[in-house]
Structure 1
């Protein structure tokens, strides 16, 4: 009997099947070349599959060897419009001050209008009332100590209100500037007596002017003392120290009253003449 390993596609079996038959018909040639055609088709299929899968990688490799042309960038000028201005909140003005009291009492005197008696709401002042009071828009008590004012509104204020400036405002320029007690000569003597030249600057021959800024308060004391410019930090610190020990100055005067004033003085540091 034939075993399980029978292969009917072997050439020997094909010859047995086509024994005594027309081998030129075509079926014999097809069966004879079937293993070769199957292997060729399988190899071509595998090659095609690998080529399709690797196509992207091959393209990238080719692009890496080909120089790319420079990309042209088109420059376009863009005109930016400025942002709209912010609307500033308008601060409402303060209410007008209350007018002062009149010198003489006033009695309300309505304008004369001809009406029937039943429509009259306010009676005009009598002659006796007008002997001791002046006619006015309202009933108003007067102030015998007040000044006589003509064609000015009247009110209930005893003294006319005066709006003052911000009390903590710092002025840069005033009518009468502040000063050291005794003037500039006394200020120079004070610096000469109290300045201690820093040893480091003395050894390194550091000299120059230190500009010190401060605020002269209304009582003459000095606050916000700072060195604006100087040749060294140690000289700046020494100038600040001396001004912190300074006696009270004469305050600046504006509109007849003392005010806070921003002030700047130069202090000259020279070896051999400390001032």
Structure 2
């Protein structure tokens, strides 16, 4: 429960007190003329632009949306691989062929691959973000390029390109 504090009155001289105008009652305003003269507007305003020669719209077409063709890193609705993220990693691992050079040299580790899922769900722009060499980088890129189409990501209700980064693990069994 809130409490209301008492504010003490301030004593001032008559000269220091501002007189507040009293708002007239409805009865006082009845029958009175509101304005006695026409007030002129701003005459310093520039003249309106010349619109001759411009085409007018028909009024039946909707306003066209400005579409940016940029690659997003995160969107309202992210792209979905058929089966989810676990299925995505499993599909990459299944299609990854361990390079003979890496097997001979006992090379193990993770290769981070960046790719773009386009508005049509297709995988493109496959690049190595962080590699381990010995042919593993190329094998990981080849595996990611074989992925099927994703359900595309959406931003503001429209399909857009989204960047993805996935780890590809190379381990000798």
Specify if TM > 0.5.
Answer: yes
Bigger relative contact order, structure 1 or 2 (CA pairs below 8 A, ≥6 apart): 2
Superposition TM-score, scaled by structure 1 size: 0.40
1:193 correspondence with 2:86: no
Structure with the bigger percentage of helix = 1
Residue 231 of structure 1 is matched in structure 2 by 132
Structure 2: gaps (5+ residues): 1-56
The residue aligned with 1:257 is 158
* Post-superposition CA distance 1:11-57 (Å, at most 9, x none): xxxxxxxxxxxxxxxxxxxxxxxxxxxxxxxxxxxxxxxxxxxxxxx
Q: CA deviation at 1:178?
A: 1.3
The alignment yields a C-alpha RMSD, in angstroms, of: 1.6
The answer (yes or no) to whether the contact 2:99–2:134 under 8 Å persists in 1 is no
Question: CA, structure 1 residues 162+255, in 2 after alignment: closer, same or farther (shift >3 Å)?
Answer: same
**Aligned pairs, number:** 117
Q: Indicate the residue corresponding to 1:182 in structure 2.
A: 83
| Structure-2-length-normalised TM-score | 0.62
Q: Distance in 1 between matches of 2:129 and 2:166?
A: 10
Matched, 1:213 2:114: yes
Q: Which structure dedicates a bigger proportion of its chain to strand? A: 2
The residue aligned with 2:65 is 163
Partner-residue secondary structure (3-state), 1:196: coil
- In the other structure, the counterpart of 1:271 is 172
Aligned residue runs from structure 1 range 54-73, under 5 A: none
| 1:140-159 alignment, distance < 5 Å | 156-159=58-61
